[in-house]
């Protein structure tokens, strides 16, 4: 049944405010369906995406926000639409033991937001989340590398730990990756590479459990303990404590 656009939009907003997100999203979609050429349709697209996000229907939230961007790419609320897309992927980031496709999609979406709108508050939150997602991806590589180590597949484990060192060097997993590289190289008899890994570990993470373990491994193999090789220390991401901001307004020009 066709309804006045203002009444329909107000009903959708009221349901949103009352926490009835699924009903709210459906009503915002109805605004767009019944009044596609009105200014209300543009507002409803973005608010509908927000309602789907709050309802944890992330797939629909992404689709609604993408539709908004396809029709209104230069709108002042475009940064928020990109943010909703990124958040919807981010909220689906799974445990490191599962497939990481969605994690990579989250990283890509957060990166796109940061590239397009680097000076917005949304990009500031995206940069923090990028660090956390990278840490998550590094954790997956570590989990697979340890799997190969347990099975004595040393070359395969080295490849995984090198990915952490080369691609995710600013994550919290770097010290362990260096220790496990030392361990894997020693298992293969590649002592020079083992000592190099231990030296880098000692330079950047002296006094840590991982350096102590690498130190002991090298010593037990009858090798001189390497002098720490000075390289730039890796930064560690902080815990994500930034709340997800709501839309600045549900009014658009």
Could you list the pLDDT tens digit for every one of the 253 residues in the chain?
Answer: 457 888 899 999 999 999 999 999 999 999 989 988 888 989 999 999 999 999 999 999 999 999 999 999 999 999 999 999 999 999 998 765 666 788 999 999 999 999 999 999 999 999 999 999 999 999 999 999 999 999 999 999 999 999 999 999 999 999 999 999 999 999 999 999 999 999 999 999 998 999 999 999 999 987 676 656 544 444 444 445 444 456 654 544 4
CA atoms within 13 A on the CB side of 58: 13
Burial track 77-116 (b if 16+ CB lie within 10 A, e otherwise): bbbbbbbbbbbbbbebbeebeeebebbebbbebbeebbee
CA-atom Rg of the chain in angstroms: 25
CA atoms within 13 A on the CB side of 196: 7
User: Residue 85's closest CA among 55, 115, 107, 118?
Assistant: 107
CA distance 180 to 210: 9
User: Residue 45's closest CA among 31, 34, 59, 24?
Assistant: 31
> Which residues, in sequence order, are CB contacts of 104 under 8 Å at separation 6+?
137
**Which tokens sit at 132?**
């956390």
Q: What is the pLDDT of residue 235?
A: 43
What are the residue ranges of CATH 1.25.40.10 in the chain? 5-134, 140-220
- As assigned by CATH, the class of the 5-134 domain is mainly alpha
Enter the CATH code of domain 140-220: 1.25.40.10
Distance of CA 103 to the CA centre of its chain: 6
pTM for the model: 0.77
**Which tokens sit at 158?**
């080295």
């Amino acid at each position: 049944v066709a309804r006045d656009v203002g009444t329909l939009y107000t009903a959708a907003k009221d349901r949103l405010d009352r926490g009835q997100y699924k009903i709210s999203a459906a009503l915002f979609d109805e605004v767009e369906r019944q009044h596609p050429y009105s200014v209300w349709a543009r507002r409803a697209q973005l608010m509908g995406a927000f309602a789907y996000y709050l309802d944890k229907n992330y797939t629909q939230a992404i689709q609604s926000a993408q539709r908004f961007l396809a029709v209104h790419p230069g709108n002042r609320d475009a940064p928020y639409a990109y943010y909703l897309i990124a958040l919807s992927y981010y909220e689906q980031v799974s445990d490191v033991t599962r497939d990481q496709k969605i994690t990579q999609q989250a990283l890509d979406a957060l990166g796109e937001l940061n590239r397009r709108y680097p000076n917005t508050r949304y990009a500031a939150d995206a940069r923090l989340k990028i660090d956390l997602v990278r840490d998550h991806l590094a954790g997956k590589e570590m989990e697979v590398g340890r799997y190969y180590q347990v099975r004595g597949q040393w070359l395969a484990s080295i490849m995984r730990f090198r990915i952490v060192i080369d691609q995710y060097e600013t994550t919290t997993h770097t010290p362990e990756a260096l220790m496990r590289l030392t361990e894997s190289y020693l298992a293969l008899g590649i002592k020079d590479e083992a000592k190099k890994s231990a030296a880098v570990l000692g330079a950047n993470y002296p006094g840590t459990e991982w350096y102590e373990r690498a130190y002991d491994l090298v010593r037990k193999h009858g090798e001189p303990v390497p002098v720490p090789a000075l390289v730039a220390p890796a930064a560690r991401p902080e815990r994500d404590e930034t709340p997800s901001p709501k839309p600045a307004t549900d009014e658009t020009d």
